[in-house]
Structure 1
């Protein structure tokens, strides 16, 4: 056991060939270059009074947190993409086309894992599933709860299909490995262990607070919330889904916090399992080199945090 006992909750996200960690005072991204060196981006946190006030209000804090994470994460994603592009050097037109395609695929994957495109994605997953459900099963149930359940099932199928599809590319596999490395480092830190590659690799790649878990909860919570509201037409159903989206996000965030607080209670750990199951797709076992990058990012973030405290 190290003297580095956890006294703060940290989170992060995978980026292209690296990991970003958000500290109390600074966000740090570490990216592995082809020459094996590690390149850093360090961005101090700028706290705005009224935003911090909103982040203490239940339901509202989830929405604020998503918007904030999207804005801050985009900067670190762009940094990693720029480093990745610099590493490519001079290429032929065909290679350039393949590289751009690969970069686009990876960026889409990063956006999902880091919730950078969450708002846009949530609108898509809010509008498309009820449309499919209405076209295929519009006359199947008179009870709207049945339609809501089918809509939720379609959302899960689309979500899993999307993740599985992008995970087939080698670049996304590496991204998901860095995602796993991020989780392992946080788990090792929360266990109070010294952050060495050997210690970090003892942990699995799943974590209760992951953004992947949050996305699953928005689907499940949405089914419940939608069941309390009646609609008389398909158009009204779609409009209702859009209007209720902030409520679904807010409640889902609170559910995620609640399940995370119960993860040490054996009989209640199952409440967080749906999110963990999705992480079986969004995380992969990292290599030692990838874990090293994740540790470097976390340690640099902690070092800068201490300097600002």
Structure 2
């Protein structure tokens, strides 16, 4: 008999908490300043047409991306609202309100690096800006391959600068710690170890299925795809890049899934290393308190998933 396959769970760091998603539910746990943990829950809706699309290679990545963006934004909104309620208090000064808005923007920008929130808009910017930067180097690098390589190099540099800048804000540093906690919980679960703080802390903060890896793969995959299309004139190059975004996303998703499947094969595991290297920037070592929040979220998800599988009503902790 074949071994029963474990269910696959994903996650996302939010402000002062972690969101985990399963087959039937997504759950976020957020720690407030009084040390209490509050939860937010969204049941997954089963849509036959969407489920069918998610079975089609190259299309399933785009569908998953859209779904993750829609669901993840709701969980992020919940966490930022909890954060603002505690940080804001009464709006006494206009400056304070502006600070809050700036803080909220930095949160959205930072979490976009971790998962797929606002990713399509970000992908558009990170696709087009390198095109114009590379075009400026045409007197030095006029060839087709050289231009694509320069474009990809600029894209990578912009991505690293972007991550570095958002990581300088204190709140994003904590989000990156929760990102590390999320990965540690998933790795601990997938290794079959008991879900304790000690076992989770001993697990890796890097994971092959991370959204950060996906973003990096779009840079690499895009480089090879762009080799197949013309770069002249410039307006056609711009149009091609925009039209090819779904193609690059679809292929990148398949590459991400492939690297995850072969991660235990000695030679092939290195295919996922570039994504893991980027995660060294987008994840940080979490504290025990942060791991406790991630575990609370994951345990609540497991509880709801189990009740759904048994056909029971899914009561939610609030």
Q: Gaps (5+ residues) in structure 1?
A: none
What's the CA shift string for 1:130-166, capped at 9, x where partnerless? 111102x122234211111111110000000000011
Superposition map of 1:33-112 within 5 A: 33-88=32-87, 89-90=89-90, 92-93=92-93, 94-112=95-113
Question: Please, which moves more after superposition, 220-229 or 100-109?
Answer: 100-109
Q: Gaps (5+ residues) in structure 2?
A: 310-318
TM-aligned CA deviation for residue 82 of structure 1: 1.0
Structure 2 match to 1:201: 201
Structure 1 match to 2:305: 305
Distance 1:105 1:195 in 2: 32
Superposition map of 1:212-227 within 5 A: 212-227=212-227
TM-aligned CA deviation for residue 184 of structure 1: 0.3
Distance 1:35 1:6 in 2: 40
What's the CA shift string for 1:195-224, capped at 9, x where partnerless? 111110001211110000000000000000
TM-score by length of 1: 0.96
Distance 2:125 2:178 in 1: 26
SS at match of 2:40: strand
Distance 1:244 1:170 in 2: 36
Distance 1:91 1:176 in 2: 28
Structure 1 contact 21–297 (Cα < 8 Å) conserved: yes
TM-aligned CA deviation for residue 122 of structure 1: 0.5
Kindly indicate whether structure 1 or structure 2 has the higher relative contact order, using CA contacts under 8 Å at least 6 residues apart: 1
Structure 2 match to 1:159: 159
The CA RMSD over aligned residues, in Å, is 1.3
SS at match of 2:192: coil
Distance 1:102 1:231 in 2: 39
SS at match of 1:242: helix
TM-aligned CA deviation for residue 97 of structure 1: 3.0
Structure 2 match to 1:126: 127
Structure 2 contact 178–286 (Cα < 8 Å) conserved: yes
The answer to whether 1:286 aligns with 2:274 is no
Structure 2 match to 1:270: 270
Question: Please, which moves more after superposition, 110-119 or 245-254?
Answer: 110-119
Superposition map of 1:186-265 within 5 A: 186-265=186-265
The answer to whether 1:179 aligns with 2:179 is yes
Distance 2:110 2:286 in 1: 17
TM-aligned CA deviation for residue 243 of structure 1: 1.0
Distance 2:302 2:192 in 1: 14
TM-aligned CA deviation for residue 91 of structure 1: 5.3
What's the CA shift string for 1:97-150, capped at 9, x where partnerless? 333322221122112312111100000011100111102x12223421111111
Distance 1:184 1:239 in 2: 41
Structure 2 contact 152–223 (Cα < 8 Å) conserved: yes
Would you say how many aligned residue pairs link Structure 1 and Structure 2? 304
What's the CA shift string for 1:162-198, capped at 9, x where partnerless? 0001111111100000000000000000001111111
Distance 2:106 2:245 in 1: 27
